[in-house]
Amino acid sequence: MKKCSLDMVVSANIPLGSNHFLLKFTHKEQLPEMLPGQFVQVRVDNAPGVFLRRPISVNFVDQQKNELWLLVQKVGEGTRKMSEYKTGDVVNMLLPLGNSFTMPQSAQSRLLLVGGGVGIAPLLYMGSLLKQQGCNPMFLLGARSADGLMQIDDFKQFGEVFITTEDGSAGEKGFVTQHSKLQEHIDKIYTCGPTPMMQAVARFAQNNDIECEASLENKMACGFGACLCCVTQTQSGHKCVCSEGPVFNTKELSWQI
């Protein structure tokens, strides 16, 4: 897939809860094909201390409207600057970057997409494509509290949604790995979220002989395989999360699980 540098125009900036926001961008021309799990490198200008681009997952793509969504959590200066983007602002991005989640063997597969915090971002796009291909994905979304739950109605368009919160303010109380849905038969899990959560999900998958793909978020400088800064340890040595990932089959990772 050819990568490109595009100037995208902000068409909406919607605050979600206290700490997240959804950015919608449009482009005057046809957007390149983007796969679920891929990400973009956003150039954030005029933010103090921000030098490198910021990697953000593709949250949703509407190829008819040439629209790209990014779901972002405010954590530092770069994402704070992004939270101030206004309709009409022009933002440069490199895209599409990285590999993608792989489609299931059959449309009948029982698929669970497990997301935590802002890690739910790539699962919406993945869910939309799974639904398009005739699958019935289920979503298990976790957050600290109800305030951290986002895009639930969007997810519901593509499949059944199950929720956990650590404080019990919505859905089942606890961690995603404690949800009762996991007692049922599952063929494949796709996961993205904080590393400890993904490791717990990978452990569950391994113990129950379930196929599992995780999307990693290592620190990146370039985002396209040139600097070798973003490596993760795998069964076959260091691999670049930006170009050989961000999605890995969890069996391939050298996680202590």
Partner 1 sequence: MADLKIRIGELEFKNPVTTASGTFGFGEEYTDFMDLDRIGGIFTKGTTIRHREGNAYPRMAETPSGMLNAVGLQNKGVDYFISSIYPRIKDYDTNIMVNVSGSTIEDYVATAEKVNELDKIPAIELNISCPNVKQGGMTFGVSCAGAAEVVRAVRKAYSKTLIVKLSPNVTDIASIAQAVEEEGADSVSLINTLLGMAIDAETRKPYLSTITGGLSGPCVKPVALRMVWQVAKAVKIPVIGLGGIMNTADAIEFFLAGATAIQIGTANFIDPAISVKVVEGINEYLDRHGCSSIYDIIGALEA
Ligand X SMILES: Cc1cc2nc3c(=O)[nH]c(=O)nc-3n(C[C@H](O)[C@H](O)[C@H](O)COP(=O)(O)OP(=O)(O)OC[C@H]3O[C@@H](n4cnc5c(N)ncnc54)[C@H](O)[C@@H]3O)c2cc1C
Ligand Y SMILES: Cc1cc2nc3c(=O)[nH]c(=O)nc-3n(C[C@H](O)[C@H](O)[C@H](O)COP(=O)(O)O)c2cc1C
Q: Name the residues that contact partner 1, by CB under 8 A.
A: 2-5, 43, 49-53, 94, 218-233, 237-238, 243
With beta carbons less than 8 A apart as the criterion, state whether 2 and 17 touch: no
Compute the least distance from the CB of residue 242 to ligand FES, in Å: 3
150 vs 161, beta carbon nearer ligand X: 150
Tally Cβ neighbours within 10 Å of residue 67: 17
Taking the C-alpha atoms of residue 177 and residue 208, their distance in angstroms, rounded to an integer, is: 12
Supply φ then ψ for residue 142, to 5 degrees. -120, 150
Interaction of residue 98 with ligand FES, rule CB under 6 A: no
Tokens of 31: 């957007």
Compute the least distance from the CB of residue 85 to ligand X, in Å: 13
18 vs 30, beta carbon nearer ligand X: 18
Interaction of residue 247 with ligand FES, rule CB under 6 A: no
Binders of ligand FES in range 164-203 (CB under 6 A): none
Supply φ then ψ for residue 94, to 5 degrees. -100, 135
Kindly give, in sequence order, each residue whose CB lies less than 8 Å from that of residue 91, ignoring residues fewer than 6 positions away: 7, 8, 9, 10, 25, 42, 43, 85
With beta carbons less than 8 A apart as the criterion, state whether 22 and 10 touch: no
Tokens 């961008």 belong to residue: 25
Tokens 């340890």 belong to residue: 233
Of residues 7, 33, 65, 76, which one binds ligand X by CB under 6 A? 76
Tokens of 243: 């170009």
Interaction of residue 233 with ligand FES, rule CB under 6 A: no
Interaction of residue 91 with ligand X, rule CB under 6 A: no
What's the order of all strands across the beta sheet hosting 160-165?
172-173, 160-165, 138-143, 111-116, 188-192, 211-215, 247-249
DSSP state of 253: B
Interaction of residue 216 with ligand FES, rule CB under 6 A: no
The window from 92-100, 122-130, 141-149, 221-229 that contacts ligand FES (CB under 6 A) reads: 221-229
Interaction of residue 227 with ligand Y, rule CB under 6 A: yes
Interaction of residue 227 with ligand FES, rule CB under 6 A: yes
Of residues 3, 8, 22, 54, which one binds ligand X by CB under 6 A? 54
Interaction of residue 73 with ligand X, rule CB under 6 A: yes
* Residues in touch with ligand FES (CB under 6 A): 220-223, 225-230, 240, 242-243
* Residues in touch with ligand X (CB under 6 A): 39, 50, 54-57, 71-73, 75-79, 118, 121, 217-220, 246
